[in-house]
Structure 1
Amino acid sequence: MAAGAGGVAALGQVPFSIVALGLAGLGLAGWLAARSNTSRRAAWIGFCAGTGYFGVTLHWIVQPFLVDAERHGWMAPFGLLFTATGFALFWALAFWLARRIAPGGGWRYALAFGGALAGVETLRSLILTGFPWSLIGYIWSEGAAVQSVAVIGPFGLTLLTGLFAGALAAIGPRWPAIPALIAAAILPPVLLSLVPPAPLPASDAPVIRLVQPNAPQDEKWHPELGAIYFSDALDASAAPGNPDLIIWPETSVPYLLEPGHPVLGLLAGAGRGAPVVVGAQRVEGPLYYNSLLVISPEARVVDTYDKHHLVPFGEYMPLGDLAARFGLRGLAQGQFGYSAGPGPRLVDLGPLGQVLPLICYEAIFPEEVGGAPVRPDWLLQITNDAWFGTFAGPQQHLAIARMRAIEQGLPLARAANTGITAMIDARGRVTASLGLGQTGALDTVLPPALPPTTYARTGDWPALVAILLSLAAALRFRRKTA
């Protein structure tokens, strides 16, 4: 039942986005733990619920192993199993702690459950390089409640979600839970109409052309097929229109770009006077980088950003030297391991302003997007979501990118290899997009930025303090009633 409750809770996440089911599943799992005889039993319930939740939300994790199914396909079920059960250990800790603090249930249990679950979700997002994907707070991503991350951030929204689920767990399967779930499903769309829209673009706002080559991952690096996709992307870049900037996705150039490479001339020519931002691999001495390069109309590389937060087991192998002895390499690293860049930095695009580049995975880390040296004028994500399949993975990745825009009050331009390419305004609304599996280019106006949000100024500290206060309140009142 706990595993099933976790699976139901996962239906709150994109692409299903059924908030009432997400809350009901979390509440049911919490109620089962509250009724358990021991804290150890509650931990087992939490582990089962977490396995069900992460098994459903992260089912797309098998897709990277199926790109080269002959070599890696056998790893797919183990990848999903170890991912789901590994993250479920965090939930086991949360359920154990909640039951330990508030063994009698009631409203103290609601505080303990919400604080503990939000705490371990935050911990999961930060330790061992972190993986803040499928945070329980993200079940609100398609409704008005998501706008709250501009104030309290993603971990604050996760705490509120945990407290709501804890209240349902404290109520149990009684009638007050029903109107609470109905309200959770109905109120966000109503409240959405009260959220003021982002300001309209100015008449002289820059036009951005986002290119989507739609190259399948198993064909992307094929010598002949890769050249065809590259040629198609050049044609899309050179299509009629007068964009001020052209953006290609992550690793969309199938060549190692170095100064003087003849491909630079092709890219500059396709830009027809506009700078071109491309994702490409580059080499510097013995080191290889997953990079974003700005190509000027004169065919020069005028700025370079190297991805600094690499995907473990994808772009590099932890304990790489030891792993190499056993022939183990990251799925995306080819014959070499990527090296990490120095960290978040801005790229100067001249009259288009200062932009914070985010390469694929980097957009899922809110604290790093807020960790730029100075506030950028807008955000730019290039990604290759062909690794994530054609269902939940790319849609969840887009929802996470929308979160970053709302948190910072900044527009975000997103170029994805196979989709979803999109322009996102400072309220997280998609103003234009190219869907999954489409090939071509999208010309869209860059929306304006909003003033710095509360979250942009304070970061995650208020949410972390609130999580600790929730746990502390449950402990204090436990002692008073003991």
Structure 2
Amino acid sequence: MRLPRLKSRPRWRLLAGAAVLGAGVALGQAPLGWWFVAVPALSLFLGLARSSPGWAGFAGGFGYALAGMFWITEPFLVEPEIFGWMAPFALILMAAGMGAFWALGAGLGGRRGLPGIALGLVAMDALRSYALTGFPWILFGHIWIGTPVAQAAAYVGPIGLSLLTLLLAVAFWRRWAGVVALLALAGIWGAGQMRLNAPLPDGPAVTVRLVQPNATQALKWDPQYRLEFFYRHLDLTANPPAPGAPRPDLVIWPETAVPFLLDDPGDGLRMAAEAAGGAPVAMGIQRSEGLRYYNSLAIIHPDGTVGPVYDKVHLVPFGEYIPYGDWLARIGISAFAAQQGNGYTAGQAEQVLDLGPLGRVQPLICYELIFPQDIRRVSERPDWIMLVTNDAWFGTLSGPWQHLAQAQLIAVEFGLPVARAANTGVSAMIDAKGRILDHLGMNDMGVIDARLPAALPKTLYARVGDGPALALLLIMAVIVTVWGNNGVDRSRRRV
């Protein structure tokens, strides 16, 4: 395939084309999952970026984030009379940030043609995953979630999936390489399907109830409604199981589910325990120590006493805390999502909680789910992952669905089932191969009573993390740099 001649065209046409193609790549992300649109769009973007990698990279990344992350405006619309004016600025800044990553990757790799640009973009996925506090959201490899190709994440992780995606996109610029790439994709697809078809071992005889109260964020902390939402949790918890179904062995409430603090609950914990009828309750709750507040998950025993407590470790920058927040609080700048105080304090370390017959569980709160490198930090392997989240902040169109998709990928990467309790949706029980066994849709109120699926043996990715994928990326970058235009990108000579 010949590369398009673009140097003589006005720059605005190149930028507009790159932005449109970037938006096309975003169609591969949840909720659409159109990988068959995303890969050709990515391939065309690489060709377009060949003539002006930095500028095209910025425009492509800008269009990608604009289409894939427009949900970032939703938190500002919870109280639109106060924060609504900030929504467009937040979206533009987010899109510009993504554009800067793409510009850096494409610009650095542009001297080595299409392969260099492709590897540069993969490197930006890796950089985004780790730099500062990290933001591994809508990575290129995420377009495969929900397809058999995603099963490869058990071996290569998210960066490996991104590398696979970019190699596929660049291969289409070579006729025979494109054929080989399609055959390789078919082989990976088939291997993934075989893995999906293989039976799971028998799971534990544990039934989990996921409670979804549908407490809208705009009303969640309103004094007129917060007790009503608490009673809604109690009513859903106390609902009898379906005829012939076992009673829940554990009830899970979503993130920040209750209007009181763990250290000042009044009768709240006793009421929750009574509603659960003998089952422990895993409750998303805030707690305080002096002037410090924590976003926590507490296990409430059947007698109403407090069991193990986990404090969220990986907080959302500017959402749950503000850098230099103690100083900025003096001039009235506080964290966006913190219901108490001017921000949350991070917990000390990731944990695995031993719940006895319910197994060893790794608790995660909302945003923490997207960081596999954090999940790997625990010293012992859990039997399953418990996620509590409040995605009501992010609307209904794409943000919550993208978060759900990442839960599916985490399940694959670690070979562990994920029980996901979400305030407004989507609550779901996900097996160790990333399949959604049962779920409640957006803005539904109800419960899921699901048997806990079995875990798989520890995956290769759980053992080694992103190291091998990053090493392969580095090796390929060295090869492209050394070989350069002599063999890798002869297409330059035909432009």
Deviates more, 1:45-54 or 1:365-374: 365-374
Secondary structure, in 3 states, of the residue corresponding to 1:20? helix
C-alpha separation between the residues in 1 aligned to 2:262 and 2:203? 36
Aligned length: 466
Instruction: Report the CA distance shift for 1:378/1:265 in structure 2 as closer, same or farther (over 3 A).
Output: same
Cα deviation per residue 1:169-192 (whole Å; 9 max; x = unaligned)? Answer: x44xxx779978987998877665
1:186 & 1:222 partners in 2: Cα distance? 53
Shift in alpha-carbon separation, 1:255–1:480, aligned structure 2, 3 A: same
For residues 172-221 of structure 1, give each alpha carbon's deviation from its aligned partner in whole angstroms, at most 9, with x where no partner exists. xxx77997898799887766542244645648620000000100000111
* 1:290 alignment partner, SS class: strand
Deviations 1:274-298 (A, max 9, x none): 1000001111122100000000011
Q: Distance between the aligned counterparts of 1:67 and 1:190, measured in 2?
A: 45
Q: Percent of aligned positions with the same letter in both sequences?
A: 47
TM-score (norm 1): 0.92
Query: After the TM superposition, which segments of 4 or more aligned residues of structure 1 sit over 3 Å from their partners?
Result: 175-193, 196-204, 479-482
Structure 1 pair 20–71 and aligned structure 2 pair: CA distance change class (3 A)? same
Tell me the distance in 2 between the aligned counterparts of 1:178 and 1:466.
21
**CA separation of 1:199/1:238 partners in 2, compared to 1, >3 Å: closer, same or farther?**
farther
Contact 2:212–2:447 under 8 Å retained in 1: yes
Q: Greater CA deviation, 159-168 or 433-442? A: 159-168
Equivalents in 2 of 1:301, 1:176: separation in Å? 63
1:114 matched to 2:118? The reply is yes
Q: Which residue of 1 aligns with 2:390?
A: 384
Q: How does 1:367-446 map to 2 (within 5 A)?
A: 367-446=373-452
For residues 100-147 of structure 1, what are the alpha-carbon distances to aligned partners after superposition, in whole Å with 9 as ceiling and x for unaligned?
2x1xx4xxx32x233211111110111110100000100001211100
Match of 2:223 in 1: 223
Instruction: Please say if 1:10 is aligned against 2:18.
Output: no
Q: Which residue of 1 aligns with 2:13?
A: none
C-alpha displacement of 1:231: 0.5
Measured against aligned partners, the alpha-carbon deviations of 1:394-414 in whole angstroms (never above 9, x if no partner) come to 110000011111111011100
Secondary structure at the counterpart of residue 56 of structure 2: helix
User: What does residue 274 of structure 1 align with?
Assistant: 279
The 3-state SS of whatever aligns with 1:381 is strand
Letter in 2 for 1:232: R
- After TM superposition, list the pairs within 5 Å mapping 1:272-311 onto structure 2: 272-311=277-316
2:70 equivalent to 1:59: yes
Secondary structure (helix, strand or coil) at the match of 1:373 reads coil
Higher mean alpha-carbon deviation, 182-191 vs 360-369, is at 182-191
Inter-partner Cα distance in structure 2 for 1:466 and 1:20: 25
Q: Structure 1 residues 395 and 425 mapped into 2: Cα distance closer, same or farther (>3 Å)? A: same
1:385 aligned partner, one-letter code: D
Superposition deviation, residue 344 in structure 1: 0.7
Where do 1:35-50 residues align within 5 Å?
A: 36=51, 41-50=52-61
Task: Give unmatched runs, 5+ long, in structure 1.
Answer: none
Structure-2 residue corresponding to 1:24 = 40
The amino acid of 2:377's aligned partner reads G
The answer on 1:83 being equivalent to 2:87 is no
Q: Which runs of 5+ in 2 are unaligned?
A: 1-16, 242-246, 491-495
Q: For the Cα contact (< 8 Å) 2:30–2:405, is it kept in 1?
A: yes
Q: How far off its partner does 1:322 sit?
A: 4.3
Distance in structure 1 (CA, Å) of the matches to 2:485 and 2:154: 36
Equivalent residue for 1:124?
128
Tell me, yes or no, if the aligned pair for 2:152 and 2:188 is still in contact at 8 Å.
no
The reply to whether residue 247 of structure 1 matches residue 252 of structure 2 is yes
Moved more, 324-333 or 119-128: 324-333
CA contact (8 A) 2:254 2:422 kept: yes
Q: Does 1:93 align with 2:114?
A: no
Q: For 1:227, give the aligned amino acid.
A: L
CA contact (8 A) 2:148 2:196 kept: no
* Contact 1:153–1:460 (Cα < 8 Å) also in 2: yes
Q: Distance in 1 between matches of 2:426 and 2:147?
A: 19
How far 1:328 sits from its partner (Å)? 2.1
Equivalent position SS for 1:138: helix
Task: Indicate if the aligned counterparts of 2:424 and 2:444 stay in contact, CA closer than 8 A.
Answer: yes
Q: 2:399, 2:170 → 1: CA distance?
A: 28
CA contact (8 A) 1:15 1:392 kept: yes
User: Amino acid of the residue matched to residue 412 of structure 1?
Assistant: V
In the TM superposition, what whole-angstrom CA distance separates every residue of 1:397-441 from its partner, at most 9, and x where no partner exists? 000011111111011100000000000000000111111111011
Partner of 2:148: 144
Q: Aligned letter for 2:378?
A: A
Give the distance between the partners of 2:249 and 2:345, measured in 1 at CA.
Answer: 32
- Determine the structure 1 residue equivalent to 2:164: 160
1:288 and 1:69, CA in 2 relative to 1: closer, same or farther beyond 3 A? same
Structure 1 SS opposite 2:27: helix
TM-score by length of 2: 0.90
